[in-house]
Structure 1
Amino acid sequence: MPKPPPSTSRYWKFQRQFARFNKFLFRKTRGRVGGTFLGAPVLLLDHVGRKTGQVRTNPLIYLDDAPRLVVVASKGGTDAHPAWFHNLMAMATTEVELPGGERRRVQPRVADGDERAALWDRLVAIYRPYANYATYTERQIPVIVLEPASP
């Protein structure tokens, strides 16, 4: 069984700092830098903290399933979904920023059944560590479909 990621506060502090730096580079260069992670495409997801009410932005690996976008809620510990997932699912709509500065208004939903299985396989094809991560968590990692929102 693979070793789970470190759960120390220093590790998560580094993760937050890296996400802030990635967001800065992404926006400054319109996705030319920070628009990929280990070869996988990255978008910026805007969401509002449920407890703080603060606007937050997370860089996430995504699958372009036009006109939809697909992301996966992998990081959050081995037994909990990440906070951004809970924040996102509490919102009716939000915005994402794609490389090139394109912004899209989207509404989230969780894929299940055959749709989830098909999308999961495609996500693992673009970012192999998802398959590894799934082997050491008891939870089913959510696959989130970001549908275009009505204007």
Structure 2
Amino acid sequence: MTERRQSVQQSPADWVARQAELYEESGGTEGTTMRGAPCLLMDYRGRRTGDWRRTVLIFGRDGEDYLVVASNGGADNHPLWYLNLESDPRVRLRVLTERFDARAETLGHEEKQRVWPHLVEVFPPYADYQRGTSRDIPVVRLRRV
């Protein structure tokens, strides 16, 4: 992803936008946790507009890769960022002070089962979110490119 982005649209959710601004403006030294869990910034392309958007996501690790959960707070529908990744898996991440390009891939059932306990350890509400919805909450691997 060598193309230059003019601007990135912040999340329409005020608290997410404020945290993303703090994270970015501090160069990754502030706003890096949510409810005690580590967070990253993910820039992704909107599937309809092609505009770059930004969100803040809790992450876990699997080796060198980052894992994010498309929980949408346990809602019965996928978060918009996840729908956009299905259209274009190229993303740009900020993890603390480092920025890099990555590629998103939804984990299959067996791999999700393997990493799920770690993700629930990182952020225990994920277990309640999954129990509270009939939707199989996707786990996305973000691999540096």
TM range (shorter): 0.7 to 0.9
Secondary structure at the counterpart of residue 94 of structure 1: strand
Structure 1 residues 62-73: aligned runs within 5 Å: 62-73=59-70
Letter aligned with residue 122 of structure 1: H
2:30 is aligned, of 10, 21, 33, to: 33
Q: CA deviation at 1:31?
A: 2.5
Letter aligned with residue 48 of structure 1: R
Dislocated runs of 4+, deviation >3 Å: none
Aligned residues: 135
- Contact 1:43-1:59 at 8 Å conserved across structures: yes
Secondary structure at the counterpart of residue 117 of structure 2: helix
Q: CA deviation at 1:148?
A: 2.1
2:108 is aligned, of 104, 108, 112, to: 112
Secondary structure at the counterpart of residue 30 of structure 1: coil
Partner deviation per Cα, 1:59-106 (whole Å, 9 max, x = no partner) = 000012232111010117622111100111211422111111x11211
Q: CA deviation at 1:122?
A: 0.5
Superposition TM-score, scaled by structure 1 size: 0.82
Aligned twin of 1:143: 139
**CA distance in structure 2 between the partners assigned to 1:24 and 1:44 by the alignment:** 10
| Contiguous gaps of at least 5 residues in structure 2 | 1-11
2:121 is aligned, of 125, 128, 132, to: 125
1:51 is aligned, of 48, 56, 63, to: 48
Q: CA deviation at 1:132?
A: 1.0
Q: CA RMSD in A?
A: 1.8
Secondary structure at the counterpart of residue 101 of structure 2: strand
Aligned twin of 2:78: 81
Aligned twin of 2:95: 98
Q: Percent of pairs identical after alignment?
A: 34
Aligned twin of 2:6: none
**CA distance in structure 2 between the partners assigned to 1:147 and 1:35 by the alignment:** 19
Superposition TM-score, scaled by structure 2 size: 0.86
**CA distance in structure 2 between the partners assigned to 1:138 and 1:131 by the alignment:** 13
